[in-house]
């Protein structure tokens, strides 16, 4: 049953918190640990529905995953070695996790097995062709569907004799890149992925951490070295070795308490240990351009990933232009950025958002519709979202938002309701557990007024 919730204008938010572990790194740590020889220990793994679905799929293929009820204890994975996974006895249900299903496709491609991958209604609407097309060129067989048009449920047959390829990404996508590199671990020779626009690089960092022979080179362009993008090459028949992984806080989850602190008068919130990888930090770069009272401090590196502490204080914001080339570094943060733009002075233009149309829902349309319902003028021109800010304390609110089963839409509009004049209701919060299981508890601890809508 749907769980409607209401957010209403709150007093100052204050606190010093940690958000759950990064979802992208959690997925990769589990998968690479299952493909490695020996034991992998994962500290701070995100225990969300998405990640748990990925863990269950790996267990169904023979990965030994040991978890503890004690959330401070690490997860242990006894890997099977590259090429060592076994065929599952039934379909692999990945729920709402696009990352898990797409990375698993890359891993399954290098195994002589047949597997059926399924998901919930939202995931089944999302395109899988751009992942399966390059994998089919390497030797993965897609049964009963054309690879370029495939959607879940999909049955695939892998091969222990994959062909290495050199593949240029048609769009900036860490999921496509990661799937091809994972398949490349099982191919004879070198597999190369070329990306003209940088996407999140967690797979490259973690593959190197697990001992893969991997090379990243800058490509020359009109402006010189690096202007043409990057080439990532992995050597096949790799032998990964179990490692210790410490998962930093998810910057996409941190965006919500940070945003709330910026728009609720008198607030000051500190979020500790947040992933500060440049390929994931575009949201915070944009906040600084908007004039946000934001401090990024105590920068350090753990297991190859940079992390930092973020302090956010309430204050005025101004509208800005967010260029298309920044989109890959903040693709999940646009709904909450659009909410902040509603409280800014002037117009905010967010460009290059075609990718938002193929997320859990058409996030571009749903975000604009939700803002309009809340009394904020928002429109779409091509793949650009335009929000005309009303300034601090002048957003009307008073809307009921159809979340379309999208966790980030739900959290973004609940955040809006904390500073709008009239409450905001979202039609369901059940899906928030896919990425931020303790969202309500954490935000409530800061002073946010979030309550279930009784009798709805």
Give me the active site residues, please: 332
Listed as own residue / partner, the contacts of 291-298 with beta carbons closer than 8 Å and 24 or more positions apart are 291/315, 291/316, 291/317, 291/318, 292/262, 292/317, 293/262, 294/258, 294/262
Radius of gyration over alpha carbons of the chain, in Å? Answer: 22
Tokens of 422: 């009239």
* SS3 of residue 442 by DSSP: helix
Query: How far is 260 from 77, CA to CA, in rounded Å?
Result: 37
CB count, 10 Å around CB of 17? 16
* SS3 of residue 145 by DSSP: coil
Q: Where are the beta strands (DSSP E) in 198-260?
A: 214-221, 224-235, 244-246
Phi, psi of 322 (to 5 degrees): -105, 110
Query: How far is 169 from 357, CA to CA, in rounded Å?
Result: 18
Tokens of 343: 């409280």
Strand partners, 300: 307
Tokens of 172: 């900036």
Cα angle value 334/339/345 (rounded, 5°): 115
């Amino acid at each position: 049953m749907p769980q409607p919730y209401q957010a209403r204008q709150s007093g100052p938010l204050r606190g010093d918190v940690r958000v759950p572990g990064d979802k992208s790194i959690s997925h990769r740590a589990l998968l690479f640990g299952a493909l490695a020889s020996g034991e992998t220990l994962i500290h701070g793994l995100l225990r969300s529905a998405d990640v748990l679905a990925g863990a269950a799929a790996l267990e169904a293929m023979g990965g030994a995953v040991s978890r503890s009820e004690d959330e401070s204890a690490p997860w242990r994975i006894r890997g099977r070695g590259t090429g060592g996974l076994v065929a599952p006895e039934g379909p692999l249900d990945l729920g709402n996790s696009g990352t898990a299903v797409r990375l698993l496709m890359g891993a399954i491609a290098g195994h002589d097995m047949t597997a059926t991958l399924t998901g919930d209604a939202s995931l089944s609407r999302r395109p899988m062709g751009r992942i399966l097309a390059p994998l089919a060129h390497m030797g993965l067989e897609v049964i009963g569907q054309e690879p370029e048009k495939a959607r879940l449920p999909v049955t695939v047959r892998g091969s222990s004799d994959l062909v290495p390829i050199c593949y240029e990404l048609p769009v900036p996508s860490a999921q496509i890149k990661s799937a091809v590199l994972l398949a490349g671990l099982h191919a004879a020779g070198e597999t190369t992925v070329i990306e003209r626009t940088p996407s999140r690089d967690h797979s490259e960092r973690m593959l190197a951490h697990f001992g893969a022979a991997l090379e990243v080179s800058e490509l020359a362009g009109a402006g010189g070295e690096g202007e043409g993008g990057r080439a990532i090459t992995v050597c096949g028949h790799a032998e990964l070795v179990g490692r210790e992984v410490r998962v930093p806080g998810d910057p996409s989850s941190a965006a919500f308490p940070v945003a709330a602190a910026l728009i609720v008068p008198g607030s000051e919130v500190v979020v500790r240990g947040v992933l500060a990888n440049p390929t994931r930090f575009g949201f915070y770069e944009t906040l600084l351009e908007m004039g946000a009272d934001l401090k990024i401090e105590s920068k350090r590196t753990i297991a190859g990933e940079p992390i930092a502490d973020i302090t956010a204080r309430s204050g005025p914001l101004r509208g800005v232009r967010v260029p298309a080339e920044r989109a890959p570094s903040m693709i999940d943060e646009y709904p909450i950025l659009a909410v902040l733009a509603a409280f800014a002075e002037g117009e905010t233009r967010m460009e290059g958002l075609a990718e938002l149309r193929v997320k859990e829902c058409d996030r571009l349309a749903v975000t604009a519709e939700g803002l309009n319902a809340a009394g904020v003028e928002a429109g779409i021109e091509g793949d650009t979202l335009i929000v005309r800010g009303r300034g601090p304390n002048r957003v009307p609110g008073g809307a009921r938002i159809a979340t379309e089963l999208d966790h980030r839409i739900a959290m973004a509009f609940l955040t809006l309701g904390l500073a709008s004049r009239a409450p905001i209701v979202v039609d369901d919060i059940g899906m928030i557990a896919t990425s931020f299981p303790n969202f309500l508890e954490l935000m409530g601890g800061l002073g946010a007024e979030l309550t279930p809508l009784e009798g709805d």
